[in-house]
Structure 1
Amino acid sequence: MIPPKPASRIGRASLLRHILLFRKDILSANPAHLYRAWMAEYRTPFFRSYLCNDPALVRRVLQERPEDFPKSDRLREGLAPLLGQSVFVTNGALWRRQRRIIDPAFEGGRLREIFPAMHAAGAAAVARLGGEVEVEEAMSHAAADVIFRTLFSIPIEDTLASAVFAEFRAYQRTQPLLNPAALLPLPRWMPRLHRRRTRASAARIRALIARLTEERVAAMARGAAPDDLVTRILAARDPETGDRFTPAEMVDQVAIFFLAGHETSASALAWALYLLATHPEVQERVAAEAELLGDAPDVAAVGRLGLVRDVFRETLRLYPPVPMMVRESRCPETMRGRQVEPGAQIVLSPWHLHRHERLWERPDAFDPDRWRSAESRASAREAFMPFSAGPRVCTGAAFAMIEGPLILAMIARAFRIEPVAGPPPVPVAHLTVRSATGIRLRFTPRG
């Protein structure tokens, strides 16, 4: 069974139609030839955009010369209400300072210390499952629980979880990956009017984060703060300047931790469960391997789950939570014989790269065993970047690759998972790749 994939755009499209299609869903707005093209150029009266699938160009932009291709300001407008000046949207010296303070909190030894909180969140997720479930919401709950336990040392309460889920769902559903400001030089008031609900939702999310951060600063002043990620980051100093994050700066960083660790993890886990439900033979193998976790696992136990890890990686290949990244060229470039001027938008698409017909065998098939072949390992080196690559690789990549396989294994060990009758879910891209109508599965306890 080939997993669902959105239909591609048929025929040419005017600039106005492009805007309308992109606001609805950027995945189905693009033509099918992008799954085999090395490069594509988009022209508007206001700027040029180049989608790059050539692995050599991707390496140039992300790894070899990242300073010449900073993050584009065209996407910052849509994310600023929630993320402010977080590490996800900044560039240059400010970004380097932020990474110097943040990165030590996510080193391997630190992840071992917070693993019990991850496991506790997984156990709570298993306890909540059973019967027919909308898994995007369930995995949002689970991922949010992981974030609250590892960041703030508190399990997420049901009332708080409902409020947070509602606000993040509202933010994601009302905020397209591209807004009009990314395509047209519109008056500043116009996109803001279009995003009134989004900005209000972002303000409520940030108010919650600000309250939690203020409480933690007070606890640190009393010497009563738990040793979790937020405490470590608030206490950390820039090794070059000795500066710390202010509480206001910390709100920006926690916002991206929550968005990256909650929305992206929820997306990946929901699609992984759907793939197991529709591939029962793989599911049974995963359930058998999950017994290796035992009753009180540690990080080393997760490392023994080779198949589960491959299932999670295959899910990230087929349904990368962040489907596209946009950089901006700072200097004249030549890309595959084309002259690229400064200011051009360079689009890197994990969605297309992970399904590229020239780089992967059976690119649309779900095949976790592919990760054990030499050919697929070569493809992965060239064309697999769910967490980006180079200096701007996601800080939480190692965190996600422990959290995802752990929770997936715990659920598969406890339940037999089956699809619910009805049409298959259709992937759409807002801030992450989700189903247009949700994903409903049935969970039956194993004997």
Structure 2
Amino acid sequence: MIPPKPPSRPDRVSLWQYGRLFRKDILSAQPARLYRAWMAEFRTPFFRSYLINQPELLRAILRERPDDFPKSDRISEGLRPLLGNSVFLTNGEAWKRQRRIIDPAFEGGRLRDVFSAMQAAAEAAALRLRHGAGDCIDIEPMASHMAADVIFRTLFSIPIEHETASRVFRLFRDYQRSQPILNLAAFVPVPRWMPRFFSRRTRQTAREIRALITELTRERMRRIEAGTAPDDLATKIMTTADPQTGQRFEAGEMVDQVAIFFLAGHETSASALAWALYLLAISPDWQDRVAEEAQNCAAETFSDMGRLRLSRDVFREALRLYPPVPMMVREARCPERFRDRDVPRGAQIVLSPWHLHRHERLWERPDAFDPDRWNTENGRQCQRSAYLPFSGGSRVCPGAGFAMIEGPLLLSTLLRDFRVEPVAGREPVPVAHLTVRARDGIWLRITPRS
């Protein structure tokens, strides 16, 4: 089965045309040759960008020399009103300090501790879905609701129905489609000295979200001081000290981190889950296999997750075909020489999971939906060298393990109870907003299984 992907632009267009295409959708703004190129160069009057697909170069950038290729400041501009100085945007010593405090909360033992909260969110999602059973629905808002519920239950021990959680979710839903994951300044000639302007709505919504997160954070701090705080992720992060300095996150810092936890843990998971459900809807044989596994292997405990192999492989394949974060941008801190090309200091290094995961010279049948590929030699090799749904190296997403429990669990729980079918004439077209979503939604018919 070959699922949809956006059309590619012609190889040669003017900078003005590229800017127009980019503003509309960064995925369809790219030429088809990027699915087979090891490296591509884009020049503007102010700087150069290099898209890198070659595994050896990716390894050097992400794993061997990450300090020489920090995150580009250009991509932070569009997300700064909401995320402040969160771990997603910082570099250098500030980032290393944040990771030393955050990483312990997402270790295997902690995931075991929050599994019951994930499970409760999955069962609540199945219960809510029964009310829409038999109808044709856009599954993207439903997936967002499910993923947000997981985040609030595991982070703050409150369900999505909690007043503050519900308000954050509604505001974020308004915010997410107005902001691309990559700012236009990452690719086109916008001088660094030029001020960046955000719409009044964007700034106001970001302020409201951060105010609500501040309420949750301050309340949790009070409960920690009183000794009545639940043992969830927020408590773990807020009580963990930097092993090098002994310092903890201050209130403002914690608001920044909660904002990115919500974005990364809700928006990206929702994107992957919605596409996974669509892929199963157009692949009924695989859907039946996942449903049978779910009915025979109930995930009642954390250790049971190891038995959901088919759900895991389907979710992994959805992350390959529709990586939630389609492109990442680093900056060359010093002059480089890549593939006999001079890469000047300050150049933008674009890492594109969207193109890498469909690269014609790396993957067998790269555009096909084939969860069995992960059990082949090609799949295992590509997983090591050409698979970046959570980035890689030291900057790999700290919630990667969390996502690989949450996604298969939600998928298995839903397929246990429901059958999903595509809606004729409503084939989704992937576009990039904050994450890879469908231009007009992902419409499915949901019916209960007997």
Residues 1:192 and 2:197 are matched in the alignment:
yes
In the alignment, is the contact (CA less than 8 A) between 1:322 and 1:350 conserved in 2? yes
CA distance in 2, matches of 1:21, 1:54: 26
- The AA in structure 1 aligned to 2:350 is V
Structure 1 residues not aligned, in runs of 5+: none
Matching residue of 2:399: 396
Which ranges of structure 2 fall in alignment gaps of 5 or more residues?
A: none
What residue number does 2:328 align with? 325
Q: Secondary structure at the match of 1:78?
A: coil
Identity between Structure 1 and Structure 2 (%): 67
Change over 3 Å in CA distance of 1:23–1:196 after alignment to 2:
farther
Give the distance between the partners of 2:145 and 2:354, measured in 1 at CA: 25
Q: Deviations over 1:219-257 (max 9, x none)?
A: 112111111100111111000000000011000000000
Change (3 A) 1:161 1:214: closer
Pairs within 5 Å for 1:105-184? 105-129=105-129, 130-131=133-134, 132-157=136-161, 163-182=167-186, 183-184=188-189
Give the 3-state SS of the residue equivalent to 1:30 in structure 2. coil
Instruction: Provide Cα deviations, 1:18-43, integer angstroms capped at 9, x if missing partner.
Output: 22211211000000000000000000
Q: Secondary structure at the match of 2:78?
A: helix
Partners of 2:297 and 2:122 lie apart in 1 by 12
For normalisation by structure 2, the TM-score amounts to 0.96
Retained in 2: the 8 A contact 1:181–1:191? no
Output the CA distance in 1 between the equivalents of 2:32 and 2:137. Answer: 33
Inter-partner Cα distance in structure 1 for 2:290 and 2:319: 17
- d(CA) in 1 for partners of 2:192 and 2:70? 24
Match of residue 94 from structure 1: 94
Q: Give 1:338's match in structure 2, choosing from 341, 348, 365.
A: 341
- Distance change (3 Å), C-alpha of 1:403 and 1:430: same
- Taking the aligned partners of 2:99 and 2:12, their CA distance within structure 1 comes to 42
2: distance between equivalents of 1:310 and 1:7? 27
Question: CA offsets per residue over residues 31-75 of structure 1, 9 Å max, x none?
Answer: 000000000000000000000000011101000100000000001
Q: Any conservation in 2 of the 1:3–1:365 contact (CA below 8 Å)? A: yes
> Conserved in 1, the CA contact under 8 Å of 2:276 and 2:318?
yes
Separation in structure 1 between the aligned mates of residue 147 and residue 376 of structure 2, nearest angstrom: 31
Distance 1:392 1:316 in 2: 18
Match of 1:242 in 2: 246
TM-score scaled by structure 1?
0.97
Q: Following TM superposition, by how much is the alpha carbon of 1:2 offset from its aligned partner in structure 2, in angstroms?
A: 1.1
Report the AA paired with residue 429 of structure 1: A
Contact 2:181–2:325 (CA under 8 A) maintained in structure 1: no
**Residues 162, 226 of structure 1: CA spacing in aligned structure 2 closer, same or farther, 3 A cutoff?**
closer
Alignment correspondent of 1:5:
5
Aligned residues: 445
| Superposition deviation, residue 162 in structure 1 | 5.3
**Equivalent AA in structure 2 for residue 26 of structure 1:** I
Residues 320-376 of structure 1: CA distance to partner in whole angstroms, max 9, x if unpaired? 000000000001110000000110000000000000000001100000011111121
Deviations 1:267-308 (A, max 9, x none): 0000000001110000000000112432x6112111111111
2:256 counterpart of 1:223: no
Match of 1:213 among 204, 211, 217: 217
- Are 2:211 and 1:232 aligned? no
Q: Give the counterpart letter for 2:128 in structure 1.
A: R
- Give the deviation of 1:111 after TM superposition: 0.5
Query: Counterpart of 2:409?
Result: 406
Q: Who is 1:284 aligned against?
A: 288
Residue deviations 1:68-89, cap 9 Å, x none? Answer: 0000000111111011000001
**What RMSD, in angstroms, separates the aligned Cα atoms of the two structures?**
1.5
CA contact 1:174–1:197 (8 Å) conserved in 2: no
**CA distance in 1 between partners of 2:295 and 2:352 (Å):** 36
Post-superposition offset of 1:199: 2.0
Cα distance in 1 for partners of 2:336, 2:166 equals 48
Residue 258 of structure 1 corresponds to 262
